[in-house]
């Protein structure tokens, strides 16, 4: 086999219907061998003779979809100087569109101590490490159309491809835990009922389980251990032959789009599965270690680690930046995804040492005509110094609002002096996002996510219970801001169970009705539990999988969530595009867009906000002429509402505001009962006293329009 010259771009393996062009960047390499494997694992090698701008390339006639391949990079090996070329290692193509399997740790001799002198003589790894695969770029998208749901109308649902369906009784067994299973009509029907507009998938880029977990008999479940930025994870595919995971993933996206649901990917461009200096050589480490990874300045040149995983990608290098941007564009243009959630996004902003919000990566995203047009969500922190950057990302970005999560948890568990902070969070966190021109929807509001307690466990456990992880409980966060409502874990106490149910509704209602974009964690809508495990990253077991029997057992909670999102959709005052100003909406109006009251019906004062009690507050939301223009240039009109929060353990007597805000009110949501839009009793007159139940949120809708 002697390759034709081929072309430098696109990088990776590109099939054109006749043959395949192979292209690999490596400035460190003396030369590169392309390795092709037949069905029996027999290897054929060919040197890529053509090199332009450190890109080694060649075209092989007759090679097509399904062909397994890899690279062997010949060059200097001196780990203390950061050089790790080793032709004994079969390397995954960083641009591989499909990868065949994981790592066989029992058979593959990697020699974890990479500075050992015999590391270059390790046994050949072919057959025991993943193969790259050539894929067909052709797919019938039909009339596929991106939903392009505006942020302020979005409801995001964070889910795990396998965990969502592996136990689903109505998904065919052969499809459970796969892309095809996730796109099954019964799953889409459930999401549609919940009012979900976007499903945010935990990592689906090809990943591997690290050796330490494998030794314990555990697996990397969440997938934050990427080794292929272009390849859909093969274990999530029912179609396993000839790169079928690519076709299956595309079919899943098409099915979601037909249901008007966007697909957002959780992506991990901050580190890879190759880990620290003791980790395995799988791909980029052996191709060009200095280009792809941040290395310390002094020898030995081991890895900078802003992620807690052993390495950090070198976003200062142009070819690493190109890899990330090419990957993002590929998933948008070829796979039709609608956005990305960037894991530990602060690590991507580290040009030098400190987090720089104007780093090259963000500049490139801003000017890219494709990537800049999809949803971009930052997890705005990493584990390095100064890494907590909530509120500091560029205007194009939205953020997981960790301050919303912490404040809402504190408020509902009864922590003192959180009232002012709570008011800021439920109105869109203007203190974080307004100064740089962003809108309320820059805040992705959540109280639970994959990392931490489920909603059920948040109200059932004071302490983490991570014994199954094999780390003696040392892993996982200790500051959970949870409250078990009087008993740790499962209980038969009816009062405790009733209180937990109410707290679940309080947290869900606060998330859905706050300004910003609500995000729900899969299974929270019917009380999924991880038995107190708040770090289930390695639990590819029943502990983490969704138990769909709970959907029937807790059907009333499912109905409550569905009714909440439907209520939000009907009333634009809960999904404003602009921040409240505390001023009249239109010239000549007397009513402000928002007003705050004590339970006694008096407007809040500075002293009230600083009150150490801080357990109860009432917000008036003015729906008359919301300054959010509809497509015709008209102001949006809605009803006006009172949101009455009581986090105290006792009932509170509440006085409705006077006639200036409305002459009559009707209760439309009550978390103490779980009712939404109940049968209307006689309207309550302005100034009337009502009982605000302990630990509850009551929403009242104005009856009869604006006051004269």
**Rg for the chain (alpha carbons), in Å?**
27
Strand (E) or helix (H) holding 667:
strand 664-670
Can you say how many angstroms the Cα of residue 111 is from the centroid of all Cα atoms in its chain?
A: 34
Tokens representing 529 are 């539990």
Strands 339-342 and 664-670: unpaired
> Hey, which bits of 268-421 come out as E strands?
339-342, 375-378, 398-400
Please state, in angstroms and rounded to a whole number, the distance separating the CA atoms of residues 364 and 367: 5
SS3 category, 596:
strand
Cβ-contact 582, 384 below 8 angstroms: no
Strands 339-342 and 375-378: parallel
The set of catalytic residues is: 343, 379
| Residues in the chain, total | 708
Tokens representing 155 are 């409801």
Cβ-contact 622, 556 below 8 angstroms: no
402-412 vs 494-513: helix axis angle to the nearest 10? 140
- Measured from the Cβ of residue 424, the count of other Cβ atoms closer than 10 Å reads 16
Tell me the sheet residues that pair with 35.
Answer: 45, 70
DSSP secondary structure code for residue 249 in this structure: H
Tokens representing 291 are 């280009």
- SS3 string, 4-69, reads ECCCCCCCEEEECCCEEEEEEECCCCCEEEEEEECCCCCEEEEECCEEECCEEEEEEECCCCCCEE
């Amino acid at each position: 086999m002697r390759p034709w010259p081929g072309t430098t771009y696109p990088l990776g393996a590109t099939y054109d219907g006749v043959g395949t062009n192979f292209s690999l960047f490596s400035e460190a390499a003396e030369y590169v061998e392309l390795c092709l494997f037949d069905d029996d694992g027999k290897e054929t090698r060919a040197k890529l003779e053509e090199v332009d701008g450190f890109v080694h390339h060649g075209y092989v006639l007759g090679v097509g979809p399904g062909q397994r391949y890899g690279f062997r990079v010949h060059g200097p090996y001196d780990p203390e100087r950061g050089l790790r070329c080793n032709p004994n290692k079969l390397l995954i193509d960083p641009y591989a569109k499909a990868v065949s399997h994981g790592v066989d740790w029992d058979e593959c001799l990697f020699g974890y101590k990479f500075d050992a002198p015999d590391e270059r003589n390790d046994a050949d790894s072919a057959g025991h490490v993943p193969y790259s695969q050539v894929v067909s770029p052709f797919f019938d998208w039909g009339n596929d159309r991106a939903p392009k749901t505006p942020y302020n109308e979005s409801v995001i649902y964070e889910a795990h491809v396998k965990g969502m369906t592996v136990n689903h009784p109505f998904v065919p067994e052969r499809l459970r835990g796969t892309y095809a299973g996730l796109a099954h009509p019964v799953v889409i029907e459930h999401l549609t009922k919940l009012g979900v507009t976007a499903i945010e998938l935990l990592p689906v880029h090809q990943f591997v389980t690290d050796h330490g977990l494998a030794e314990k008999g555990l697996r990397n479940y969440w997938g934050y251990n990427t080794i292929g930025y272009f390849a859909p994870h093969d274990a999530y595919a029912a179609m396993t032959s000839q790169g079928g995971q690519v076709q299956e993933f595309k079919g899943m996206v098409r099915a979601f789009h037909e249901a008007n649901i966007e697909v957002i990917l959780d992506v991990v461009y901050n580190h890879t599965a190759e880990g620290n200096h003791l980790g395995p050589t799988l791909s980029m480490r052996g191709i060009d270690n200095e280009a792809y990874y941040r290395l310390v300045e002094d020898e030995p040149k081991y890895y900078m680690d802003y992620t807690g995983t052993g390495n950090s990608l070198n976003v200062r290098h142009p070819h690493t930046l190109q890899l990330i941007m090419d990957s993002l564009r590929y998933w948008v243009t070829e796979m039709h995804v609608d956005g990305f959630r960037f894991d530990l996004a602060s690590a991507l902003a580290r040009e030098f040492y400190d987090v720089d919000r104007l780093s090259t990566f963000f500049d490139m995203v801003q000017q890219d005509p494709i990537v800049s047009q999809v949803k971009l969500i930052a997890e705005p922190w990493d584990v390095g110094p100064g890494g907590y950057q909530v509120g500091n990302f560029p205007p194009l970005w939205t953020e997981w609002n960790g301050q919303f999560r912490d404040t809402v948890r504190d408020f509902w568990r009864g922590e003192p002096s959180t009232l002012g902070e709570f008011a800021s969070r439920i109105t869109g966190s203007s203190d974080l996002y307004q100064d740089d021109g962003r809108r309320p929807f820059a805040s992705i509001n959540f109280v639970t996510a994959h990392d931490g307690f489920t909603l059920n466990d948040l109200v059932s456990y004071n302490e983490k219970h991570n014994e199954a992880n094999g780390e003696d409980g040392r892993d996982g966060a200790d500051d959970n801001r949870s409250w078990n409502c009087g008993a740790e874990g499962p209980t038969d106490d009816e009062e405790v169970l009733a209180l937990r149910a109410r707290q679940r509704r309080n947290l869900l209602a606060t998330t859905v009705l706050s300004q910003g974009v609500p995000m729900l964690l899969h299974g929270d809508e019917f009380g999924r539990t991880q038995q107190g495990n708040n770090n289930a990253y390695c639990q590819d077991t029943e502990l983490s999988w969704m138990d769909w029997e709970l959907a029937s057992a807790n059907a009333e909670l499912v109905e409550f969530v569905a009714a909440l999102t439907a209520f939000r959709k009907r009333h634009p005052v809960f999904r404003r595009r602009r921040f409240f100003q505390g001023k009249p909406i239109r010239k000549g109006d007397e009513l402000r867009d928002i007003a705050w009251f004590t339970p006694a019906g008096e407007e809040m004062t500075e002293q009230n906000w600083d009150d150490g009690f801080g357990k109860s507050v009432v917000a008036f939301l003015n729906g008359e002429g919301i300054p959010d223009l509809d497509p015709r240039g008209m102001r949006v009109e809605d009803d006006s509402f009172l949101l009455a929060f009581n986090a105290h353990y006792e009932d509170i007597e509440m006085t409705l505001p006077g006639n200036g805000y409305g002459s009559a009110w009707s209760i439309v949501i009550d978390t103490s009962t779980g009712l939404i839009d109940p049968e209307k009793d006689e309207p309550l007159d302005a100034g009337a006293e009502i009982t605000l139940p302990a630990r509850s949120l009551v929403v009242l809708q104005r009856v009869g329009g604006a006051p004269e």
